[in-house]
Amino acid sequence: MLTVGMFVADRYEIMGKIGSGGMSDVYKARDHILGRFVAIKVLKQEFSEDVNFVVKFRTEAQSAAGLEHPNIVNIYDVGSESGMHYIVMEYVEGVTLKTYIEKKGQLTYKEAVSIAIQVGRGIEAAHAKNIIHRDIKPQNILISTEGKAKVTDFGIARAVSNNTISADVMGSVHYASPEQARNGFVDNKSDIYSLGIVMYEMVTGRVPFDGETTVAVAIQHLQEEMTAPSVYAPQLPVSLEKIILKCTQKSPDRRYANVSELLADLKEALVRPNADFVRISDGSQKKTRVIEENEVREIKSARAPQKLRKQDEEEEDEDEDMQDEEEDEEGFLNPRLEKAVTIGGIIAAIIIVCLVLYFVGNIFDIFGGSSREEPETETHSVINTEKEKPEQVTMIKVTGMTFAEAKSELRAKGLGIQEAGSEASDEYEKGRIMRQEIAEGTQVDINTTVRVTISTGASEVSVPAVEGYDSDAAMNMITDAGFHPKRDYDYSDTVASGKVISQDPKAGTPAKKGDTVTIMVSQGKEAVAVPDVYNKPQEQATNELTQAGLVVSSTSTAYSDTVAEGNVIEQSIAANKYVDRGTNISIVVSAGSNKAYYFCKATISPPPERDDVVSADITLVGSDGKQIQSWTDIKKFPATISSYDIENCDSGTIKVTWYLADGTSSNQSQDVIFTKQ
């Protein structure tokens, strides 16, 4: 477990734990190289010990790291350290969509559509790179403090789904598609189904299928019809309800073909919420099969998928057999079709009879034709004097081709080509044919010249102004304007972190749709490490601090017995700590030692009235009360005492104990002034 202050990869400083899931813990950390906050997802121990899982986990995470989109939580780094496996991701300040729904109960249709569009854009970008999420749910959608929706955990769900892991751990069964529930083939339409369930929950405040166990919920996805969302949200516009119902069709073929189609309908729903424009295929689906108890047991033990698929195939065969039997019982065909077949049979019979008569007539010369033995030129002596119709060919599609490519293709069919002009096109690249005057499939005479219009490339529009905007909002604005956004980062002392510093091209510049617009996003003030200048000369210390990006705001002096005069004895910010570039720092410079040294020299004699002194003990005590030096058992008088190198003490007291001949003693004290050395 990581704790506050620990470093990962000698780069990411852990700031605190911000979440925990079934398979990982998430921490907020500071990237000390790039000076930004990141989120680190660390695999729990039970998964880290599974080698196969770790390999797949790293592979999928590295694949997802190639995704870069404003509505996707970007992956920055993947690594391992001391048996700990982690992913470094973009840090998003906000809450999960699950928490957001729980707080608000039900979202308005406009808010739900807005979030769904943003999530859909992220999924669309992933699908474009053949990455299927497989675990779209509100817990994997983050809502930033700016209201932006971002999808997280791309690539991780695939690693999880490929390993033995219970649905309880994944917490995803409420949003799983029917094909996921039976462990069948999963493609982009599975993500569409899951997004439909998320939209259902946004507008109703509940999931459509729920139960006491994950198996019970999975079975509902397979065989139960979903309650219409308008039952729980009566004010829900018909367009959004039908979008949700189309996304959550049990048959993938009846859902949206791709996320782009879904996004188009969601945008239309914002403009025409009450219009009934969503079309759900009326093709019949297979009847819902009730799952037997033994199959439920096999789903629990993860052995059912193969059996379910096998039974599906058997049911399809049974359906075909039953259909054949019903057709036999009902006379093979319905009356209308039977009539058409009868007429067709009569016509075919007449044609056959005519052909037979023709061949028989030729053989026996019934129609007065020439004998087979006559020269071949004679058999064609009768010439049709009517003018023959010119030969025709079917026009092909040449839009999208270059002029040279189209010329070659048309010449092969006996047709010519002529350029009719050129126009701007957002659909076709410059130099490609954007329009042909004769439509594909039209019958046209040989030698006809086909006129075509050549694309001059995308039309030019003004680049939107995004400086000062939040980077995610700027990326969306650029995308909506038809351009391709690209994001770079730099430090700024004046622009807040996450805001756009500059853009290229500049706002208002004419550019073609599809062109790249690069924005420079502020990382705030650059974080710099404070150098260690202790015991360094003042000038050298000041230079090092300035070169590191700090401002030496003040300098003071103090005495030091350990640091030479002129060297730094203290700095206001500890060495190796990271601070913003331009931070003020102060230093204290040594003024040298503040000690003064003294000496004391004195002559000691017994009092005149005492002639019975045998010996004496002498003690020198400083004015601070501390003993400086002592002399014992002195027997010769007068006695001279001296003491040197007395620190910071200029006076004291000489204390004498006299020992007398009768075995008694007496004390005597004398104050003295020390002499400075």
So which residues are the catalytic ones? 135
Helix orientation angle between 304-329 and 293-300, rounded to the nearest 10 degrees? 150
How far apart are the C-alpha atoms of 224 and 251, rounded to whole Å? 13
* Cα–Cα distances in angstroms (integers) from residue 518 to residues 215, 235, 371, 471, in the given order: 48, 42, 85, 11
Q: Helices (H) and strands (E) in the chain — how many of each? A: 17, 31
How far apart are the C-alpha atoms of 81 and 89, rounded to whole Å? 17
How far apart are the C-alpha atoms of 526 and 529, rounded to whole Å? 10
Three-class SS of residue 663?
A: coil
At position 181, the amino acid (one-letter code) is: A
Residue 502 phi/psi, 5-degree rounding, is -155, 170
How far apart are the C-alpha atoms of 224 and 217, rounded to whole Å? 10
CB 202 within 8 A of CB 183: no
**β strands within 209-302, DSSP E:** none
CB 147 within 8 A of CB 100: no
Omega before 375 cis (within 30°)? no
Q: Which two tokens stand for residue 549?
A: 């990006």
How far apart are the C-alpha atoms of 110 and 199, rounded to whole Å? 11
CB 458 within 8 A of CB 424: yes
What does the DSSP 8-state code read for residue 491? -
How far apart are the C-alpha atoms of 122 and 118, rounded to whole Å? 7
Please count the other Cβ atoms lying within 10 Å of the Cβ belonging to residue 401. 20
